[in-house]
C-alpha cells in the first residue's frame, strides 16, 4: 500500500517511476488483508479527539519506543488521508445522515477509526491501486508485475538501482534509478505461522540490510490477540479476526478448571455456562479499557490464562470471544427504533444478530468457513498470533535508510509504532508515508541529482551485483538437498515461535541459536550466521 | 482422507498441456484446498519431481490470487469462498478431484494452473479511477454527505477481488461482472459520478479489445463469485454505457 500510494503520488508530481511487485498485480499486495480500519484525528464524533491526542495515544501505545517527530507528522496528515481516500471513491461506512461513521480500537478512548466493514485494507489498497492505474495508463509509472527485487545496486555509495528477477521467465534484469524505495512489509513470516501472506518473505528489506542499511528494533513483533486458533500441522498460515470485534465481543475463559475440562471433552457447551462461572479476565483486570486494551496486553493476558490451563479447545490454546451481550444490546436498541413492542428474547437476539451481521458479516462468514462452527450461535475461539512487525529498516525523518538514496516506507521501516502498534494505525502509516511524506522528502536527495542524467545499467557496479545474485541463486538451485524449502521454514519458524515468541529469556534465546546452527548445517552453506 | 487428483500440467504458455493423475494420502479434512496442494507439492519435491505451479498469496480470501477450476467450478463446490478458503471437509474420502486453470482467451495459461490476468489491470488503467491528485488539500471528507444506501451499494460492488472467477465461469468468457463492479462503485458515489460516462466507455472499449466475450445474462458469474458481486452491477453499467454512447462526445 505504501508502494502503490508513493508511486501514484510521485508520478503525479512528474517523476518517472518503475514499480515492482511479486504478485501478478499490485492490487494483491498484502495490505489488502487489513480488516479493521484506519485512524484519523478528525474528531467527527466530538469526543475530544485532536492531532495531539492521536500523537499521544500512538506514542503511549508504543511504550514510548516510537520516534516522536515521525509520529507527530503522522498524526498531522492523518486527516488528509481520509479526505484523499473519499475523493478517490473509497466507500467508507456511513451513518444515515450520509456522514462517515467511526468505531473504537484497542488502547484508545475515543472513536477515531474509519472503516469499510471488515475490508478496510482492501478498499484503501484498491484506492491506491486505482490512483496508480491512472498513472500507469498515462505511462508515468512503468509496472513490473511478477518481479522480485533481489538486490540493490550502489554506485559511489548511493542507491542507484536494483537487480530483479522476472518470476515468469527467470531472467535477471538490471534497472537503474536516481533513488530506490522499499515498501515490502515486515518480517512476520520468520515465525512460519503468521497472518502474513505466503509471499511476504522480506527479501527486499533483507537485501538492503545486507548492503548496509541499518535494521532497528527487530525484537518488536506484534502478536495479535484475535486470530483463529491453529488446528494442526498441515496449516500453512493463520487468519486474523479483526480487532474491531473487540468493540462488541467480550473475552472470557471458564472460572473453574473442571468446566474447562468438560468443555474440552464436549460434555459442556460454552453457552450453557452460567455468568458467574465465566472469567471476563480483561474486564476484571483493566476496568477502564476492558476488552479494548492494547494488543500486547490482550495477547499476554490470553497466553497467561491458557498457560494456567484455562484454554478452551483441544490444544488448550484458545479463549472465547463472545457476542451474546452485544446481540441483546443491539437487539433491544433495534426493537426500540423499529417500534417492536414487547419483543421476545428470541426476537431481540435475532434483531441483534442482524446488526452484528451488518457490521462484521464477512468476518463471521470467514470464521464459519475455517472452523466449521456458527459464531452467531456459539462464541468464537481466538488465540494470539504473529501479525505485524514494528521493527524494520532504520530510517531518518525523511524516511531514508542509512544508504543514501534508498528509502523504506510502511511496515518495512521501524519508525512509528515503537514496541507495540495500536490497531488501525498500519494503514494510516502506510498511506501517510506514501501519499504525504515521501513525495515531499525525496526531493531533498534528488535535488543534488538534477544534472546527473540517466544512469547506465552497464556500470561495473551493476555487473558485479548481477553476478553475485546469479551465484547466490545457482547455489540454491544446485544444492542437492533432500528436503523442500517449506521443510526448513516450518522448523525454523517453530523455534522462533517457541523461543523468540511472546515471552523470551536468555536460556531460550541461546537454545534457539544452537538449533538454528544445527539446521544450517543440514541445509548447506547458505544461511546468514555461517557468514557472520 | 485419500484422494485422486487430476491436475492440468502445462510447461509454459506455448506448450501443450494435459491432465495428469496423482494419488495423495493422509489429507486432513480441516486443511484448506491449498494446504492439500502444499502437501502434494512437498511429496513431489521429495520425489524429485516438478511441483505444480499455482497462484496464491494471502490465503484468507481477499487478495484474489488463487484461481483454480475445481470439478468444473471456479473456486470449487463451496459458495462465497475462494480456493484458499475452500476446506477439504467439503470433499469425500476417496474422491477424484479435477483441477484446471481458468480457461479464457484473455487469460492465457503461463504454467500449470497459473494464468495471465494482466488484461484486468489494463481495463483498470483505461478508466477504473477517479481523476484526483494527492494534493493534500482535497475538500473535507464530510463535506459531501452520501446516502447510506448508495455508499453501501458502492461498497458491495467495491468488494470485488479481481480473481477472474466470473470470466472463467462464463460460457462466453465475459468480464462484464468485473468491469461493471468498478463502473458501478464509482458511478454510485458523487466523487466518481462526474466522469462516469467516460469511464464506462473507456473500460468497455478496453474490455472488448482484450478479447473478453459478451454478456448473455446467464448469471453464472454471480453464482460463482466468491464475493457475491450482484448482477445488478451489469445492468447499471449497461445503463451508463448506453446513455454515454448516446449523449457523450468522447
Q: Residue A63, class by beta-carbon neighbours within 10 Å (0-12 exposed, 13-18 middle, 19+ buried)?
A: middle
Q: Are residues B84 and B128 in the same domain?
A: no
Q: Domain A2-220+390-449: which CATH class?
A: alpha beta
What percentage of chain A reaches a pLDDT higher than 70? 98
pLDDT category of residue B136 using cuts at 50, 70 and 90: confident
Order the strands of the B18-24 sheet from edge to edge.
Answer: B18-24, B3-9, B96-100, B69-70, B73-74
Beta bridge partners of A278: A254
Picking from A87, A92, A113, A124 by the largest number of B CB atoms within 10 A of its own CB, the best residue to mutate is A87
The domain of B25 spans 3-110
Q: Answer yes or no: is pLDDT of A527 > 50.
A: no
SS3 string of A397-426?
A: CCCECCCCCEEECHHHECCCCCCCCCCCCH
Cross-chain residue pair B145–A99, CB shorter than 8 Å: yes
Q: Answer yes or no: is pLDDT of A529 > 60.
A: no
Q: Assess whether A28 carries a catalytic annotation.
A: no
User: Residue A19 region, left (φ>0) first, then alpha (ψ -120 to 50), else beta?
Assistant: beta
- Residue A62 and residue A420 in contact, taking contact as beta carbons nearer than 8 Å: yes
- Residue A399 and residue A441 in contact, taking contact as beta carbons nearer than 8 Å: yes
Q: Which of B39, B57, B64 sits opposite A198 (nearest CB)?
A: B57
**What value does the mean pLDDT take over residues A197-219?**
96
Q: Answer yes or no: is pLDDT of B207 > 70.
A: yes
Q: Are residues B236 and B127 in the same domain?
A: yes
Query: What's the confidence (pLDDT) of residue A522?
Result: 74
Number of helices followed by number of strands (H, E) in chain B:
9, 7
pLDDT category of residue B248 using cuts at 50, 70 and 90: low
- Residue A146 and residue A19 in contact, taking contact as beta carbons nearer than 8 Å: no
Q: Which of B59, B124, B138 sits opposite A130 (nearest CB)?
A: B124
Q: Are residues B98 and B126 in the same domain?
A: no
Query: What's the confidence (pLDDT) of residue B230?
Result: 97
Pick the residue from chain B with its C-alpha nearest to A140.
B125
Q: What confidence tens digit (pLDDT) does each residue in B100-126 have?
A: 999 999 999 999 999 999 999 999 999
* C-alpha distances out from residue A110 to A68, A74, A76, A249, B215, Å: 21, 18, 17, 18, 48
Name the CA radius of gyration of chain B, rounded: 20
Q: Please list the helix, strand and coil fractions of chain A in percent, rounded to the nearest 5, in that order.
A: 45, 15, 40
| Residues in A touching B30 (Cβ below 8 Å) | 231-232, 234, 372
Picking from A7, A126, A226 by the largest number of B CB atoms within 10 A of its own CB, the best residue to mutate is A126
Parallel, antiparallel or unpaired: strands B18-24 and A221-227 = unpaired
Q: Residue A290, class by beta-carbon neighbours within 10 Å (0-12 exposed, 13-18 middle, 19+ buried)?
A: middle
Q: What confidence tens digit (pLDDT) does each residue in A18-73 have?
A: 999 999 999 999 999 999 899 999 999 999 999 999 999 999 999 999 999 999 99
Query: How many other CB atoms are there within 10 angstroms of residue A428's CB atom?
Result: 28
Q: What is the DSSP string of B112-129?
A: TTEE--HHHHHHHHTT-S
- For residue B85, which of B75, B95, B93 has the smallest C-alpha distance? B75
Q: Which of A73, A295, A305, A421 is catalytic?
A: A295
Instruction: Tell me phi and psi for residue A343, to 5 degrees.
Output: -65, 135
Axis-axis angle for helices A68-88, A120-138 (nearest 10) = 70
**pTM of the full predicted structure?**
0.95
Beta bridge partners of A408: A182
Q: Are residues B92 and B149 in the same domain?
A: no
Q: What confidence tens digit (pLDDT) does each residue in A456-503 have?
A: 999 999 999 999 999 999 988 887 777 888 888 999 999 999 999 988
Output the nine-digit C-alpha cell for A311: 484454554
Q: Are residues B29 and B131 in the same domain?
A: no
Residue B68 is part of a domain; what is its CATH number? 3.10.20.30
Q: Residue A267, class by beta-carbon neighbours within 10 Å (0-12 exposed, 13-18 middle, 19+ buried)?
A: exposed
State the smallest CA–CA distance between residue A507 and chain B in angstroms.
34
Strand (E) or helix (H) holding A530:
helix A528-531
State the smallest CA–CA distance between residue B53 and chain A in angstroms.
11
* C-alpha distances out from residue B186 to B159, B192, B248, Å: 12, 5, 18
Q: Which of A8, A91, A487 sits opposite B134 (nearest CB)?
A: A8
Query: What's the confidence (pLDDT) of residue A526?
Result: 47
- Residue A378 and residue A271 in contact, taking contact as beta carbons nearer than 8 Å: yes
Axis-axis angle for helices B148-158, B176-188 (nearest 10) = 150
Q: Based on the structure, what is the number of domains in chain B?
A: 2
Q: Answer yes or no: is pLDDT of A77 > 50.
A: yes
Query: What's the confidence (pLDDT) of residue A530?
Result: 40
Q: Which of B66, B85, B110 is the last residue of a domain?
A: B110
Q: Answer yes or no: is pLDDT of A356 > 80.
A: yes
Q: Are residues B162 and B54 in the same domain?
A: no
Q: Are residues B17 and B73 in the same domain?
A: yes
Which architecture, in CATH terms, is A225-385? Alpha-Beta Complex (3.90)
Instruction: Tell me phi and psi for residue A173, to 5 degrees.
Output: -115, 150
Cross-chain residue pair A236–B186, CB shorter than 8 Å: no
* Torsion on CA atoms A54, A251, A30, A193, rounded to nearest 10: 130
Number of helices followed by number of strands (H, E) in chain A:
16, 16
| Residues in A touching B154 (Cβ below 8 Å) | 89, 91
Query: What's the confidence (pLDDT) of residue A519?
Result: 84
- Residue B189 and residue B154 in contact, taking contact as beta carbons nearer than 8 Å: yes
- Residue B3 and residue B14 in contact, taking contact as beta carbons nearer than 8 Å: no
- Residue A124 and residue A39 in contact, taking contact as beta carbons nearer than 8 Å: no
Q: Are residues B193 and B227 in the same domain?
A: yes
What percentage of chain A reaches a pLDDT higher than 90? 88
* C-alpha distances out from residue A320 to A122, A143, A303, A384, Å: 27, 45, 13, 12
Q: What is the DSSP string of A355-411?
A: HHHHHHHHHHHHHHHHH-S-TTTS-EEEEEEEEEES-EE---TTSB-SSTTEEE-GG
In sequence order, the 6+-apart residues with CB closer than 8 A to the CB of A40 are: A54, A78, A79, A81, A82, A112, A114, A428
For chain A, give the mean pLDDT: 94
CA triple A486-A488-A492, angle to 5 deg: 115
**What value does the mean pLDDT take over residues A501-528?**
82
Query: How many other CB atoms are there within 10 angstroms of residue B233's CB atom?
Result: 26
Cross-chain residue pair B80–A122, CB shorter than 8 Å: no
pLDDT category of residue A106 using cuts at 50, 70 and 90: confident
Strand (E) or helix (H) holding A208:
helix A203-210
**What value does the mean pLDDT take over residues B224-239?**
96
Instruction: Tell me phi and psi for residue A384, to 5 degrees.
Output: -65, 150
Cross-chain residue pair B142–A99, CB shorter than 8 Å: yes
d(CA A25, CA A115): 24
Q: Which of B91, B110, B129 is the last residue of a domain?
A: B110
| Residues in A touching B192 (Cβ below 8 Å) | 89
Parallel, antiparallel or unpaired: strands B3-9 and B96-100 = parallel
Q: What is the DSSP string of A122-177?
A: HHHHHHHHHHHHHHHHHTSEEEE-SEEEEEEEEETTEEEEEEEEETTT--EEEEE-
Q: Answer yes or no: is pLDDT of A523 > 90.
A: no
- Residue A510 and residue A486 in contact, taking contact as beta carbons nearer than 8 Å: no
Query: What's the confidence (pLDDT) of residue A525?
Result: 47
Q: Which of B72, B90, B110 is the last residue of a domain?
A: B110
More confident residue, A356 or A478: A356
Q: Are residues B156 and B241 in the same domain?
A: yes
Cross-chain residue pair A232–B110, CB shorter than 8 Å: no
Cross-chain residue pair A25–B120, CB shorter than 8 Å: yes
| Residues in B touching A197 (Cβ below 8 Å) | 57-59, 63
Q: Tell me the torsion sign for CA atoms A96, A101, A104, A108.
A: negative
Q: Answer yes or no: is pLDDT of B250 > 60.
A: no
- For residue A25, which of B110, B161, B48, B195 has the smallest C-alpha distance? B161
Q: Answer yes or no: is pLDDT of A227 > 60.
A: yes
| Residues in A touching B63 (Cβ below 8 Å) | 23, 28-30, 32-33, 197
Cross-chain residue pair B85–A366, CB shorter than 8 Å: yes
Q: Are residues B85 and B194 in the same domain?
A: no
Cross-chain residue pair A42–B155, CB shorter than 8 Å: no
Q: Answer yes or no: is pLDDT of A334 > 60.
A: yes
Q: Please list the helix, strand and coil fractions of chain B in percent, rounded to the nearest 5, in that order.
A: 40, 15, 50
d(CA A228, CA A384): 8
d(CA A306, CA A311): 4
In chain B, what is the straight-line distance between the N-terminal and C-terminal CA atoms, in Å?
Answer: 59
Amino acid at each position: 500500500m505504501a508502494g502503490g500510494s508513493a508511486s501514484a503520488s510521485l508520478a503525479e508530481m512528474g517523476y518517472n517511476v518503475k514499480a515492482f511487485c511479486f504478485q501478478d498485480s499490485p492490487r494483491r499486495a498484502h495490505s489488502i488483508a487489513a480488516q479493521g480500519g484506519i485512524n484519523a484525528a478528525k474528531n467527527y464524533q466530538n469526543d475530544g479527539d485532536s492531532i495531539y491526542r492521536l500523537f499521544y495515544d500512538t506514542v503511549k501505545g508504543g511504550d514510548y519506543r516510537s520516534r516522536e517527530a515521525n509520529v507527530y507528522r503522522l498524526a498531522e496528515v492523518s486527516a488528509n488521508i481520509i479526505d484523499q481516500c473519499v475523493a478517490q471513491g473509497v466507500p467508507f461506512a456511513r451513518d444515515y445522515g450520509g456522514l462517515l461513521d467511526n468505531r473504537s480500537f484497542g488502547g484508545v478512548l475515543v472513536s477515531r477509526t474509519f472503516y469499510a466493514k471488515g475490508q478496510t485494507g482492501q478498499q484503501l489498497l484498491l484506492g491506491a491501486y486505482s490512483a496508480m492505474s491512472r498513472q500507469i495508463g498515462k505511462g508515468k509509472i512503468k509496472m513490473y508485475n511478477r518481479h522480485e527485487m533481489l538486490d540493490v545496486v550502489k554506485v559511489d555509495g548511493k542507491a542507484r538501482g536494483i537487480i530483479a528477477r522476472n518470476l515468469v521467465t527467470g531472467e535477471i534484469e538490471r534497472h537503474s534509478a536516481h533513488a530506490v524505495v522499499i515498501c515490502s512489509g515486515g518480517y512476520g513470516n520468520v515465525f512460519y505461522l503468521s497472518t502474513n501472506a505466503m509471499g511476504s518473505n522480506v527479501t527486499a528489506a533483507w537485501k538492503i540490510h545486507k548492503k548496509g542499511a541499518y535494521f532497528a528494533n527487530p525484537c518488536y513483533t506484534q502478536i495479535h490477540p484475535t486470530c483463529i486458533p491453529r488446528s494442526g500441522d498441515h496449516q500453512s498460515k493463520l487468519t486474523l479476526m479483526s480487532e474491531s470485534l473487540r468493540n462488541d465481543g467480550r473475552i472470557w475463559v471458564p472460572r473453574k478448571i473442571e468446566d474447562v475440562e468438560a468443555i474440552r471433552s464436549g460434555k459442556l457447551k460454552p453457552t450453557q455456562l452460567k455468568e458467574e462461572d465465566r472469567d471476563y479476565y480483561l474486564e476484571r483486570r483493566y476496568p477502564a479499557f476492558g476488552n479494548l486494551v492494547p494488543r500486547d496486553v490482550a495477547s499476554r493476558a490470553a497466553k497467561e490464562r491458557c498457560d494456567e490451563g484455562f484454554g478452551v479447545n483441544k490444544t488448550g490454546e484458545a479463549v472465547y470471544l463472545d457476542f451474546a451481550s452485544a446481540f441483546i444490546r443491539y437487539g433491544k436498541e433495534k426493537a426500540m427504533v423499529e417500534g417492536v413492542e414487547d419483543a421476545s428474547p428470541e426476537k431481540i437476539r435475532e434483531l441483534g444478530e442482524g446488526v452484528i451481521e451488518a457490521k462484521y458479516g464477512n468476518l463471521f462468514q470467514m470464521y464459519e468457513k475455517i472452523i466449521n462452527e456458527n459464531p452467531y450461535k456459539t462464541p468464537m475461539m481466538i488465540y494470539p498470533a504473529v501479525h505485524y512487525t514494528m521493527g524494520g529498516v532504520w530510517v531518518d525523518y525523511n524516511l531514508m535508510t542509512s544508504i543514501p538514496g534508498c528509502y523504506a516506507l510502511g511496515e518495512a521501516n521501524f519508525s512509528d509504532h515503537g514496541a507495540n502498534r495500536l490497531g488501525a494505525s498500519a494503514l494510516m502509516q502506510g498511506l501517510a508515508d506514501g501519499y504525504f511524506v515521501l513525495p515531499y522528502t525525496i526531493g531533498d536527495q534528488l535535488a543534488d541529482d538534477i544534472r546527473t542524467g540517466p544512469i547506465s545499467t552497464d556500470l561495473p557496479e551493476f555487473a558485479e551485483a548481477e553476478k553475485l545474485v546469479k551465484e547466490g541463486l545457482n547455489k540454491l538451485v544446485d544444492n542437492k538437498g533432500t528436503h523442500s524449502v517449506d521443510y526448513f521454514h516450518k522448523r525454523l519458524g517453530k523455534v522462533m515461535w517457541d523461543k523468540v515468541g511472546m515471552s523470551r529469556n536468555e536460556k531460550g534465546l541461546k537454545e534457539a541459536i544452537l538449533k538454528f546452527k544445527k539446521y544450517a548445517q543440514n541445509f548447506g552453506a547458505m544461511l546468514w550466521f555461517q557468514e557472520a | 482422507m485419500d484422494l485422486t487428483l487430476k491436475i492440468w500440467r502445462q510447461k509454459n504458455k506455448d506448450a501443450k498441456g494435459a491432465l495428469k493423475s496423482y494419488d495423495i494420502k493422509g489429507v486432513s479434512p480441516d486443511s484448506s484446498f491449498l494446504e492439500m496442494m502444499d502437501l502434494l507439492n512437498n511429496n513431489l519435491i521429495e520425489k524429485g519431481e516438478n511441483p505444480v505451479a499455482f497462484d496464491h498469496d494471502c490465503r484468507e480470501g481477499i487478495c484474489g490470487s488463487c484461481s483454480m477450476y475445481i470439478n468444473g467450478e471456479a473456486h470449487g463446490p463451496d459458495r462465497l469462498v475462494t480456493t484458499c478458503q475452500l476446506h477439504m471437509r467439503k470433499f469425500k474420502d476417496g474422491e477424484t478431484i479435477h483441477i484446471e486453470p481458468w480457461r479464457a482467451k484473455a487469460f492465457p495459461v503461463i504454467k500449470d494452473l497459473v494464468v495471465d490476468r494482466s488484461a484486468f489491470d489494463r481495463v483498470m488503467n483505461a478508466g477504473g479511477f477517479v481523476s484526483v491528485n494527492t494534493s493534500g488539500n482535497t475538500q473535507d471528507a464530510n463535506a459531501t454527505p452520501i446516502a447510506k444506501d448508495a455508499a453501501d451499494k458502492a461498497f458491495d460492488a467495491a468488494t470485488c477481488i479481481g480473481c477472474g472467477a466470473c470470466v472463467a465461469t462464463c460460457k462466453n468468457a465475459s468480464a462484464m461482472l468485473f468491469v461493471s463492479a468498478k463502473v458501478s462503485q464509482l458511478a454510485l458515489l458523487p466523487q466518481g459520478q462526474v466522469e462516469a460516462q467516460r469511464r464506462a466507455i473507456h473500460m468497455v472499449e478496453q474490455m472488448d479489445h482484450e478479447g473478453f466475450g459478451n454478456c448473455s445474462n446467464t448469471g453464472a458469474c454471480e453464482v460463482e463469485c466468491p464475493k457475491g458481486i450482484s448482477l445488478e452491477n451489469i445492468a447499471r453499467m449497461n445503463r451508463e454505457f448506453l446513455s454515454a454512447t448516446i449523449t457523450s462526445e468522447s
